Amino acid sequence: MKKNYILAKWLNNDITKEELAELKADPDFYNYEKIKNYSAQLKVADFDEEKVLENIISHKKGTPKVIPLYKNWILRVAAILILALGITFIMHNFATETQYAYNGEKTTFSLPDNSEVVLNAGSEIEYKKWNWDNRRNLELKGEAYFKVAKGQKFEVETTLGKVAVLGTQFNVKARKNRFDITCFEGRVKVNYKDKEIILTHGQSVTFENGNQTNSTAASSKPEWLENQIAFTKENLPNILDEIQRQYNVTISVKTASPNELFTGKIPTDNLDIALQIIGTTYNLEPKKIDKNKIIFEEK
């Protein structure tokens, strides 16, 4: 009852700061806000008083029909509920769904066809539930591992290229100007600019600055699923970018970045060990300024 009272005050723009804070803490507040915004856009036709009066006079007087006030109130509430349910249905089925994995975390979720997705840290996926079985298409920013249920064509679009499959397991990474795709099961078709290639089990391809590099997957699934980052001939700035993303920290280097390329694995569940590996490899000394800030200095 109290919740309905606060909702009514909020809709009437007559709510206190304390009540607003309590309402915003409600997990359904996001839906309430959308319903309010949609309702505000509804327009009612202008009321022509003179025309209504003429119609009343032109008709014979009959026994007036009295509608009790409580019935009128019930009808209004019912209309609002129907409108709210309709808007909720539309938003649930037609609106764009977005899944996030913020820095320092991974997110696992299922798509409408029960395809499984694991988002790596600092990544985002958008898709629509409506007609999903016939149009399995989503947009990826960052990196994700897919275990696709069999069905119609499944497409992953990124700003760097597109990957299409029918049912398989694969990993896609699109960050800055680098596009990495690895097929762990089945076949995938990769489109990058004017190129189209097919990858089968165990094959991997990387596009960077217009260059293509083919390789073989070293494991049966992405290393990052097992809390490791695998690098092959990677430069220090890109390595530090990934460590910052995985641990949600800020890292700076108080010297010119070394030119050596790194090949190896770095853990994503132990920051101290990760920093030690970088320090030993590049002859740098890591110093923690605070919990989320690290500086590398020359030894």
Residue keyed to tokens 């009128």: 72
Q: What is the pLDDT of residues 138-197, one digit of tens each?
A: 999 999 999 999 998 999 999 999 999 988 999 999 999 999 999 999 999 999 998 999
Q: Pick the more confident residue, 244 or 3.
A: 244
| DSSP conformational letter for 194 | T
Whether 40 shows a pLDDT value over 90: the answer reads no
- What is the pLDDT confidence band of residue 44, given thresholds at 50, 70 and 90? very low
Q: Give pLDDT tens digits for 119-133.
A: 999 999 999 998 999
What's the pLDDT at 35? 63
Instruction: Band the pLDDT of 256: cuts 50, 70, 90.
Output: confident
Q: What is the pLDDT of residue 51?
A: 63
> In the predicted model, what is the mean pLDDT of residues 18-39?
67
- pLDDT digit string, tens, across residues 272-299: 999 999 999 999 999 999 889 999 998 8
pLDDT for 17-26, tens place per residue? 777 777 677 7
Whole-number pLDDT of residue 76: 59
Write the single-letter amino acid at 184.
F
- pLDDT tens column, 52-105: 556 655 655 555 555 565 555 555 556 666 666 656 555 555 688 999 999 999
Look at residue 71 in the predicted model and tell me its pLDDT. Answer: 52
Q: Which two tokens stand for residue 59?
A: 């008709």
pLDDT attached to residue 73: 53
Higher pLDDT among residues 47 and 296, named by residue: 296
Q: Please tell me which residue, 81 or 269, carries the higher pLDDT value.
A: 269
| DSSP secondary structure of the chain | -HHHHHHHHHHTT---HHHHHHHHTSTTHHHHHHHHHHHHT---PPP-HHHHHHHHHHSPP-PPPP--HHHHHHHHHHHHHHHHHHHHHHHHHHSEEEEEE-TT--EEEE-TT--EEEEPTTEEEEEE-TTTTT-EEEEEEEEEEEEPPSSS-EEEE-SS-EEEESS-EEEEEEETTEEEEEEEESEEEEEETTEEEEEETTEEEEEETTEEEEEE-SSSS-GGGGTEEEEEEE-HHHHHHHHHHHHT-EEEESSPPP---EEEEEESS-HHHHHHHHHHHHTEEEEEEETTEEEEEE-
> Residue 176 corresponds to which amino acid?
K
Q: What pLDDT shows up at residue 53?
A: 55
Model pLDDT, residue 259: 86
Q: Evaluate the CA torsion angle 268, 215, 172, 111 in order and state its sign.
A: negative
Question: pTM here?
Answer: 0.68
